[in-house]
Amino acid sequence: MPRMRISTLLEPEPVAEMAERILRQAYRRLGYDLQVERMPAERSLVSANAGETDGELYRRAGIEQTYPHLHRVPVALASYEIVAFARDQRLPVQGWDSLRPYRLGFVKGIKVLEEMTAGMQVEPVAKLQQAFAKLERGRCDIVLANRITGLALLRGQPKSGIAVVGAPLTAFPVFHYLHDRHLALLAAVTGSLQEMERDHSLARIQEAVRAEFEH
């Protein structure tokens, strides 16, 4: 069986798990095996764009403007909701500009966070767990992350005192990307995912992963 080597972020987390399970089934329906390779977020994109891997597991729409050798498969795999996490529940988080007075932790290579916090006091790290550790030690004031990912990590740290503050900063769907050399496969992968939407297997995978991480 031919194999697709797909890169993604280092840490296992709910959205990556959703994307991997969905794509594993989508590729299997086409006669392909899926091999996921984990690496730092920025390196994952660079490797996929350079053709060192066959594509990127999931990213938001528009990433192809910066990484032109990647092509978006136009079926959303999951939703990404960026929120602020803090120990001080009184912090007045109301939109991106309200973050300027604070030291911000997040995973390096998550482009929306790098773009929206440009010019602010940032403390990028390789893994979200490292950002939360900095927050606990007082080395940053706020951690920015996907809601379900952050909450899943914090479930194992009930005494941390860290919680979501304020309303979501943004929310967007995420998509699978293929390298140039697999452009001929894009329509087939799109069709396989659309079939999974129609037979509800895509939604069932999303619901199963949410249940695993939320309980």
In this predicted structure, what is the pLDDT of residue 215?
62
- Tens digits of per-residue pLDDT, 56-73? 999 999 999 999 999 999
Is the model's pLDDT at 43 over the cut of 80? yes
Question: What pTM did the predictor assign?
Answer: 0.87
| Same fold for the pair 3-78+172-214 and 80-171 | yes
Q: Write out the DSSP string of the chain.
A: --EEEEEE-SS--HHHHHHHHHHHHHHHHTT-EEEEEE--HHHHHHHHHHTSSSEEEEEETTGGGTSTTEEE-SS--EEEEEEEEES-TT----SGGGGTTSEEEEETT-HHHHHHTTTSEEEEESSHHHHHHHHHTTS-SEEEEEHHHHHHHHTT-TTS--EEEEEEEEEEEEEEEEEGGGGGGHHHHHHHHHHHHHTTHHHHHHHHHHHHHH-
Pick the CATH number of 3-78+172-214 from 1.20.210.10, 3.60.20.30, 3.40.190.10, 3.40.50.300: 3.40.190.10
In this predicted structure, what is the pLDDT of residue 10?
86
Q: Where are the domains of the chain?
A: 3-78+172-214, 80-171
- CATH placement of domain 80-171: 3.40.190.10
- Tens digits of per-residue pLDDT, 99-138? 999 999 999 999 999 999 999 999 999 999 999 999 999 9
- Tens digits of per-residue pLDDT, 135-188? 999 999 999 999 999 999 998 887 789 999 999 999 999 999 999 999 999 999
